[in-house]
Amino acid sequence: MKLIISFWVFLLCISLLAQSEPERIILNLTETPSNSIAVTWRNYVKSSQPRTQILQASVSPVKDLSLSASYNADTDSVLIDSVNIVYTYSVVISDLVPGKKYAYRVGDADSWSEWNHFSTADTEFENTRFTYFGDVQNDILSQGSRVIREAYKTSPNSAFFLFGGDLVTDGLDDSLWGELFESGGWIFRTMPVIAAAGNHEYRGPDNSITKLWRPTFTFPENGVDLLPETCYKIKYNNVLIIILDSKGPLDLQAEWLDKTLAESSAKWKVICFHYPVYSIARGRDNTELREIMLPVIDKHEVDLVLNGHDHAFGRTFPLRNNELVHTGERGTIYLTSVAGTKQYELNSTFKKLHEVMMDNLQAFHIIEFSGDSMEILSYGADGELIDSIKADK
Ligand SMILES: [Fe+2]
Ligand SMILES: [Fe+2]
C-alpha cells in the first residue's frame, strides 16, 4: 500500500513540475529596442515569484549569475477553454545597452527556462533588416512552420519577425496559438516578434480582439488609446515601424498616424496593417481604408506598406495618389503576402499598379534598409527567390 501511495505522490510531483514549466516564451519589441525588450510566457501553476534573469552574454551565464539583473513579471490569467486556466507573465526589461548581446531565462525558483540570447538594436548601425510574413492562419504547424523556419535560415540576422495578421484562423482557439508557438519554437525566444491583428484575431464579444491576444504578446501601448497592443509604433534605428489595426476605427488611427509621422525624424517609414490598400484577390476592394489612409501615407511619403488578408502575393511599383510615380520621383511600395496554405485567386482590379502578382504560394520577405536604399527580397516556402526590388531614397 505504502508503495502505491508513494508512486502516486511521485506522479503528482512530476505532473506539477511539468505544469509549472514556462512555455510559449516569446520576445517582443518595445518602443525603444536599443535599450529595452519585452518577454512573455505562461504555465499552468501560478508562479510565486515569476521573473526574468538577464545578463550580457558570456561564456557561462550560470557562472556569471551574480552579474545578472532580475526583473519581476506582471502576472495575469486567462481561461483558454471551458475549464482550463493558464497563468501568463510579462516583463519589460529596461536599462539595456545598445548593440549588445544578452542572455536571459524566465521562470521562478522552482522552474526555469533554458538560457536564450537576443541583441539590442545598435544605434551606431545604419542597417536595419527584418522578416515579414502575411497570414499563417491555416495548417499552421503542418505546413506554415516550414515557412517560418526557412525564413530564419535565410536571414538569421534579421532584427525581428513581423506578422501581418491572421496568425491563426480562430483567435479564440488556444490550440492554434500552440501550433504557432511550436512552429516558431526557440526562434521566438531569440528573435523578437511583432504583429498586426487580423480579422481572424477578432473573435471576442461584439467582434472585439480575442482575449488571447494580450496575454500572448507584450506589444507597446503607445498608439490610439482604444487599441492597446494592436496599434503602436516602434523606432528601430533608422526605421519607424507603425502597426495599425484595420478592424479598429480608421479615422482615429489616421489622425494618430498623421501626427506620429509628422513628429518622426526616422529616415525610413514602414506601416503594417492587415487589410490591403490595393486588394489583389477575390474581387475585394477596401475603399474606405484607402480613402482614409492614403492621403496620410502620401503626405508623409511612407516608404513601404505591408498587408495580408488576400492570401496571395503582390508587390506594387512605387505609387502616389493611386498612380505610378514618374522615374526619379519617390513613391510608396505596397506589399501583400501570405505565409500559410489558404489561397485565393487573383483579381485584376489593381493589376496595373503591381509589378508582380502571384497566387498559389507560401512566401516570406526579407526587407533591409541600408544607407540610402531599401531592398525587398521575396522568397517562396522552398527558399527560392521569387521577386526583388531595390528603391533608393
Ligand atoms: Fe484576413
Ligand atoms: Fe487571412
* 146 and 112 part of one domain: no
Q: What is the whole-number distance in angstroms between the Cα of residue 282 and the centre of ligand 2?
A: 12
* 146 and 202 part of one domain: yes
On whether the CB atoms of residues 104 and 71 are closer than 8 A, the answer is no
Q: What is the whole-number distance in angstroms between the Cα of residue 198 and the centre of ligand 1?
A: 5
In-domain check, residue 186: yes
Residue 376 is predicted with a pLDDT of 98
* 84 and 134 part of one domain: no
Range of the domain at 31: 23-119
In-domain check, residue 221: yes
Q: What is the whole-number distance in angstroms between the Cα of residue 169 and the centre of ligand 1?
A: 9
Q: What is the whole-number distance in angstroms between the Cα of residue 191 and the centre of ligand 2?
A: 24
| Spatial separation of the C-alpha atoms in residues 19 and 86, rounded to whole Å | 10
Residue 327 is predicted with a pLDDT of 85
| Spatial separation of the C-alpha atoms in residues 237 and 122, rounded to whole Å | 7
* 187 and 135 part of one domain: yes
The ligand placed nearest to the CA atom of residue 202 is: 1
CATH number, domain of 36, equals: 2.60.40.380
The ligand placed nearest to the CA atom of residue 134 is: 2
Residue 282 is predicted with a pLDDT of 85
Reported as a single tens digit per residue, the pLDDT across 59-110 is: 999 999 999 999 999 999 999 998 999 999 999 999 999 999 999 999 998 8
In-domain check, residue 377: yes
Q: Which of 66, 92, 119 is the last residue of a domain?
A: 119
* 75 and 216 part of one domain: no
Residue list, CB under 5 A from ion ligand 1: 166, 198-199, 309
* 64 and 166 part of one domain: no
* 45 and 73 part of one domain: yes
Q: Which of 66, 93, 119 is the last residue of a domain?
A: 119
CATH number, domain of 146, equals: 3.60.21.10
Neighbouring CB atoms inside 10 A of 368's CB total: 18
Residue 192 is predicted with a pLDDT of 98
In-domain check, residue 78: yes
Q: Is 388 exposed, middle or buried (0-12, 13-18, 19+ CB in 10 A)?
A: middle
In-domain check, residue 13: no
Residue 384 is predicted with a pLDDT of 98
* 293 and 367 part of one domain: yes
* 330 and 375 part of one domain: yes
* 39 and 180 part of one domain: no
Residue 283 is predicted with a pLDDT of 83
Residue 4 is predicted with a pLDDT of 59
Closest C-alpha to 75, from 114, 107, 97: 107
In-domain check, residue 320: yes
For the chain, what is the domain count?
Answer: 2
In-domain check, residue 12: no
Residue 14 is predicted with a pLDDT of 52
* 94 and 172 part of one domain: no
Q: What is the whole-number distance in angstroms between the Cα of residue 172 and the centre of ligand 1?
A: 15
The ligand placed nearest to the CA atom of residue 284 is: 1
Q: Which of 119, 152, 182 is the last residue of a domain?
A: 119
Q: What is the whole-number distance in angstroms between the Cα of residue 268 and the centre of ligand 1?
A: 27
Ranges under pLDDT 50 in the chain: none
* 77 and 206 part of one domain: no
In-domain check, residue 366: yes
